[in-house]
Structure 1
Amino acid sequence: MAERETRDRTLGSRQLAALLPDPAGARPAYRHLARAIGALILDGRIALHVRLPAERELATALHTSRATITAVYDLLREGGYARSRQGAGTWTALPEDRAPHGVTRHLRPHDSAIDLARAAPALPEQVLVDALAEVTPRLAEHTHTPGYHPYGLPELRAAVAERFTRRGLATVPDQILVTSGAQHALTLVLGLLCGPGDRVLVENPSYPNALEAMRRARLRTVSVPVTDSGWDVEIMESTLRQAVPRIAYLIPDFHNPTGCLMPAAERARVLRAAHRSGTWLVVDETLADLALDVPAPAPFASCAANGAGGEVITVGSMSKTYWGGLRLGWLRAPSRLVTELAGQRVATDMGGSVLDQLLALALLGRAGELLPRRLEELRERRAALAAALTEHLPQWTWRLPSGGLSFWVDLGAPVASALAERVLDYGVRIEGGGCFAPDPGLFERRLRIPYTTAPDALREAVHRMSATLTDGLTPSPAGRRPHWIA
């Protein structure tokens, strides 16, 4: 049984209490709490198959009676959200007729809602047709081989290495591991370098799927703020010195979701601080090519090559620059570590799709033609979003990002989750800023609004959000956390 396999995974009473509303705020309190816990399970904020706190401990943390918590757990079991075993405890579960919100949210790709939950561009059909025609003869050649490439296709590893070299960081193919996306690369690194309870430094806000991977690996995150003006490097240096995290996960290039770009001098300081604390830096460069108003930044690890010190693992992907449907990414690391990560990979994944890797090779070969087109398209869409926000929602504030795929908008009031919930009825799918927070209750004044859809769709989405606000919204105490968001 799943609960037997995960019996050491326990949700603390204080941790659960921090996620729940005040039981004194509704009657009957036990039904109110049970519904809240069920919603947290569906949202992914409470993992499946973890042991819930003992009734007495949770009652104390919530300042309520044990009888109330007993009734809560009874309702959760009746609804299929919990299972118990005499003398062993109560575990979270998923009802047979329900699916996590993040899964159901992405089972409807062809409905009429304008999708602003995913900051990922589409691939022009003709580009894919041309690439398929180019790679078909190569694919035929590979059918005479077993097709397993745990490190990635040699020619693709060479192409990615050459890409790093052109950007200013000398790289050889042995330093490249091809993965099934940047998220896959991160989970491999977490699995190899970290163990349950290890500290990981993260930015606040940060990419939700990365934070979720760390939670599922049972890591302890320590966060450093990223504001509209960027990083406070002194705080980061102090945190590295005092917390001594095992790794630090950073998005320095057009940061997701704020859009900030870390200056070169600050990168060197972070590298030196990480070197002193013995912390591995995992640098997510999935947005690095999407420089709209400034030159594309050099690889973060090039500062280390120039003598700043520190160990750096660089993660990249085709998803944001070309197309997420390829599920193709990579990481750059010392050759020895790449070998160890390939060994980590084969335990669950013998290698990526040969076809996807050949397509990625063809697209990278046409980068000089395709990337400028992509950047011009994004500039047009960014301008359309900026104009629509100025016209329809002038009370919102935002900073025009110099690259990346989205605005980080301040709504002026803590209504982000309520707006995201209500605007779905108006045909717009978006997530509140709380999704990007390492800790609950943050960024309820914020929305990430991507500009990856067509200008007309962006203008219509902003118009619908404006219409939603005319109905009035109740401020939300804490945002929902999605199971998955791009």
Structure 2
Amino acid sequence: MAETNPFPRVDRVGHTDRTLGSRQLAAMLPDPAGARPAYRHLAQAISALILDGRIALHIRLPAERELAAALDTSRTTVTAVYDLLRESGYAHSRQGSGTWTALPEGRAPSGITRLLGPQDTAIDLARAAPGLPEQTLVDALARITPQLAEHAHTPGYHPYGLPELRAAVAERFTRRGLTTVPEQILVTSGAQHALTLVLGLLCRPGDRVMVENPSYPNALEAMRRARLRTVSVPVTDTGWDVEIIGSTLRQMVPQLAYLIPDFHNPTGCLMPEDARERVLRAVSRSGTWLVIDETLADLALDIPAPQPFASHPTPGGTGQVITIGSMSKTHWGGLRIGWLRAPARLVTELAGQRVATDMGGSVLDQLLALTLLDRGGELLPSRLEQLRRQRAALAAALSAHIPQWTWQLPPGGLSLWVDLGAPVASALAERALDKGVRIESGAYFATDPGIFEQRLRIPYTMPPDTLREAVHRMAAVLADGLPPSPTSRRPHWVV
């Protein structure tokens, strides 16, 4: 008898190749009639999309005639656009095979520059990531030194993760209400690594993936690079519409869904318990893999920390729920320790996927993580109290200096999702940089271009005085006046 596959894949629909369609590209671009010269305006927009990752590298751009028709402009204009892209290094041509995207020498993708940041920026609000107190790190290093010496006599390869750390993470899930054994845990180099492994194993180019809009930009970038087709469901100030989620799962039957239900990044919303149960039932009916990102779940500021999403009972069980977590938001991003919880057989398959590119994580980092997790009951309360003070300082400063902005105070997480009342976020971010404040437009968190230009994500991960100064500088930028940010010429074509 043939063996039954315990991880069936849903039927695949659609196909994608290395060509960007003319309607897809046109939907991402501003109206060519909106600026002069139009060809330079369009070339700059395409260059920005390539740097931002929304247009992948090494893919073929549409034929000139097709793009001209989609943009309702002349072919001469599109020819000039492509010429300028080639001159500036953002494209190159292959004889007989069209024009392909490229990265100019000396330029880095925006994802890298966002992580590194300009060295001369006084206040960096582009990253919602707390630091680790120096003494905490020193104490942890002192505690693990004898353990590290013992591991030095071993090969040091742990593709599943250090056994002691796997057991500690499993025990943590069990303590939170989801019975877990170490065989269900894979330790990874952060939550992003965990997501990338899952996408690589469970999805193929052209598969549909359901995501929230807005969502975590690096997760969206991972899906773009895997050449997946995202189908978005909205997250508003009031949270999720479970009816839309259910109908999307029924009609689109995505291969995978990625949700951040705990203090959602960037909105800060917390999904209610009954909504979680309804989502699980809908996922069970559609056969979709559900990836739950719990990286912010422990950062509960006004309420008890939520139970794991997969702890809710469903008729079909939770065998298709994968939970990913990390120490980046609760402790320190520099630690690069994350994990995923999944059925044991799937963990084995993911470990095999991991070995092809990563033999295993650093033993030193994993021992540090183990020590910090053991001290969680001691370290986390002070971190939460610090975040409460910083959140209060940011909210008070915004109310005092920029009262026209509005937001919902989140019950946890690391940032405010602020409504500016007008689509000026990109222009504000550009001018604020001149005053030493680095911040990202809400458009960076969008699945579709041209939206959330009226939003800013403002983290409260810095000291109160620093946050107050940042707000004061942004208020000064507003006082000087801002033009509206450019928007897309038409709704984004779903890919």
Q: Shared fold by TM > 0.5?
A: yes
The one-letter code matched in structure 1 to 2:388 is R
Could you tell me which of 212, 219, 240 is aligned with 1:231?
A: 240
Shift of 1:47: 1.6
Which residue of 2 is the match for residue 331 of structure 1?
340
Residue number among 327, 331, 343 corresponding to 1:318 in the alignment: 327
Q: Which residue of 1 aligns with 2:366?
A: 357
The residue identity in structure 1 corresponding to 2:480 is D
Partner Cα distance (1:475, 1:400) in 2: 26
Whole-Å separation in 1 of the counterparts to 2:319 and 2:355: 28
* Aligned position for 1:176: 185
Q: Pick closer, same or farther for the CA change 1:392–1:230 going to 2, 3 Å.
A: same
Contact 2:121 2:433 in 1 (8 A): no
SS at match of 2:312: helix
Task: Kindly report which structure 2 residues correspond to 1:119-134, keeping only aligned pairs within 5 A, or say none.
Answer: 119-134=128-143
Provide closer, same or farther for how the CA distance between residues 194 and 105 of structure 1 changes in structure 2, counting only shifts above 3 A. closer
Residues 362 and 343 of structure 1, relative CA distance in 2, 3 Å threshold: same
Question: Do the aligned residues in 1 keep the contact of 2:30 with 2:487 (CA within 8 Å)?
Answer: no
Structure 1 residue 476 corresponds to structure 2 residue 478: no
Q: Please tell me whether residue 13 in structure 1 is matched to residue 30 in structure 2.
A: no
Aligned to 1:292: 301
After superposition, give the CA deviation of every residue in 1:38-68 in whole Å (9 maximum; x if it has no partner).
2222222222111110011011111111122
Q: Deviations over 1:133-160 (max 9, x none)?
A: 0111111111111111000000000000
Mapped contact 1:41–1:48 kept (Cα < 8 A): yes
Contact (CA 8 Å) 2:280, 2:314: kept in 1 or not?
no
SS of alignment partner, residue 480 of structure 2:
coil
C-alpha separation in 2, matches of 1:235 and 1:32: 37
Which is worse superposed, 439-448 or 102-111?
102-111
Q: Does 1:79 align with 2:72?
A: no
Structure 1 partner of 2:218: 209
Contact kept in structure 1, 2:54 and 2:224, CA below 8 Å? no
The answer on whether the counterparts of 2:177 and 2:307 sit within 8 Å (CA) in structure 1 is: yes
| TM-score (structure 1 length as normaliser) | 0.95
Whole-Å separation in 1 of the counterparts to 2:327 and 2:173: 14
Deviations for 1:134-189, whole angstroms, at most 9, x for unmatched residues?
Answer: 11111111111111100000000000000000000100000000000000000100
Whole-angstrom distance in 2 between the partners of 1:422 and 1:364: 41
SS in 2 for 1:119: coil
CA shift digits 1:312-350 (9 cap, x unpaired)? 100000000000000100000000000000011011111
In structure 2, how many angstroms separate the alpha carbons of the residues matched to 1:220 and 1:8?
A: 12
| Gap runs ≥5 in structure 1 | 1-6, 480-486
Q: Match of 1:377, as an amino acid?
A: Q
Query: Given residue 227 of structure 1, which amino acid in structure 2 is its aligned partner?
Result: T
Partners of 1:192 and 1:341 within 8 A in 2: yes
**Compared with structure 1, are the counterparts of its residues 52 and 388 closer, same or farther at alpha carbon in structure 2 (3 Å cutoff)?**
same
Q: Secondary structure at the match of 2:299?
A: coil
Question: Which residue of the other structure, out of 105, 123, 126, is the alignment partner of 1:114?
Answer: 123
Shift of 1:308: 6.1
Q: 2:279 aligns with which of 238, 263, 270?
A: 270
Whether the 8 Å contact between 1:428 and 1:461 is mirrored in structure 2 is yes
Partner residue, 1:283? 292
> Counterpart in 2 of 1:47?
56
Aligned partners of 2:186 and 2:340 also within 8 Å: yes
1:167 to 171, 176, 179: 176
The 8 Å contact of residues 272 and 310 in structure 1, kept in 2 or not, is answered as no
- Deviation, 1:70, is 1.4
Deviation at 1:31, TM superposition (A): 2.1
The residue identity in structure 1 corresponding to 2:239 is G
Percent identical across equivalent pairs?
A: 82
Partner of 1:418: 427
1:381 is aligned to 390
Are 2:106 and 1:100 aligned?
A: no
Return the match for 1:392 from 395, 401, 405.
401
Q: Which runs of 5+ in 2 are unaligned?
A: 1-15, 489-495
For 1:367, the equivalent position in structure 2 comes to 376
Counterparts of 2:422 and 2:315, CA distance in 1: 45
Cα pair distance change 1:465/1:55, threshold 3 Å: same
Instruction: Say if 1:199 and 1:221, in contact at 8 Å, map to a contact too.
Output: yes
The counterpart of 2:255, out of the listed 242, 246, 249, is 246
Cα 1:170/1:142, change in 2 over 3 Å: same
394-403 vs 16-25, which moves further: 16-25
Tell me, what secondary structure is at the counterpart of 2:93?
strand
**RMSD of aligned alpha carbons:** 1.5
The alpha-carbon deviation at position 107 of structure 1 amounts to 3.6
What secondary structure does 1:470 align onto? helix
Distance in 1, matches of 2:171 and 2:453, equals 42
Hey, what's the Cα distance between the residues in 2 that align with 1:294 and 1:166?
18
Distance 1:307 1:289 in 2: 27
SS at match of 1:236: helix
Q: Does 1:28 align with 2:37?
A: yes
| Aligned position for 1:484 | none
CA displacement, residues 284-329 of structure 1 (integer Å, 9 cap, x when unaligned): 0000000010011000000147876562100000000000000100
Deviation at 1:32, TM superposition (A): 2.2
Alpha-carbon distance in structure 2 between the residues aligned to 1:366 and 1:292: 19
For 1:153 and 1:18, locate their aligned partners in 2 and report how far apart those are by CA, in whole Å.
Answer: 47
What CA distance in whole angstroms lies between the structure 2 residues aligned with 1:476 and 1:314? 37
**How far apart in 1 are the matches of 2:122 and 2:109?**
19
Q: Distance in 2 between matches of 1:34 and 1:304?
A: 52
The equivalent of 2:46 in structure 1 is 37
